[in-house]
Amino acid sequence: MSARPTPFGDLIADRLLSMERRPAWLATKLGISTSTVGGWIRDSRLPRDSEMRDRLARVLGYSSFGALLQGGEPDRPTDVVTTRGYAGQQPEESEYQDQMLATLRSIDLRLAVLLDELRKPRGGSE
Q: Within 13 A of 96's CA, how many CA atoms are on the CB side?
A: 5
Query: How much is the pLDDT for 85?
Result: 40
Following DSSP, what letter does each residue of 57-117 receive, concatenated?
HHHTT-SSHHHHHH-SS-SS--S-------TT--HHHHHHHHHHHHHHHHHHHHHHHHHHH
The 8-class DSSP code of residue 32 comes to S
Contact 16, 82 (CB under 8 A): no
Average pLDDT along the chain, 126 residues, taken 10 residues at a time:
69 90 93 92 86 93 88 64 40 66 78 82 63
What is the C-alpha to C-alpha distance for residues 23 and 112, in angstroms, rounded to an integer?
8
| pLDDT at residue 111, as a whole number | 82
Model pLDDT, residue 1: 47
pLDDT computed for residue 125 by the predictor: 53
Q: Read off the pTM.
A: 0.59
Question: CA-based Rg of the chain, rounded to a whole angstrom?
Answer: 16
Domains of the chain (ranges; CATH) run 8-73+90-119 (1.10.260.40)
What's residue 73's pLDDT?
78
Report the pLDDT value the prediction gives residue 77, as an integer from 0 to 100.
Answer: 56
The CA-atom distances, in angstroms, between 26 and each of 6, 22, 66, 123 are 20, 7, 19, 25
Tell me how far apart the alpha carbons of residues 62 and 57 are, in angstroms, rounded to a whole number: 5
The pLDDT value given to residue 79? 45
pLDDT at site 27? 93
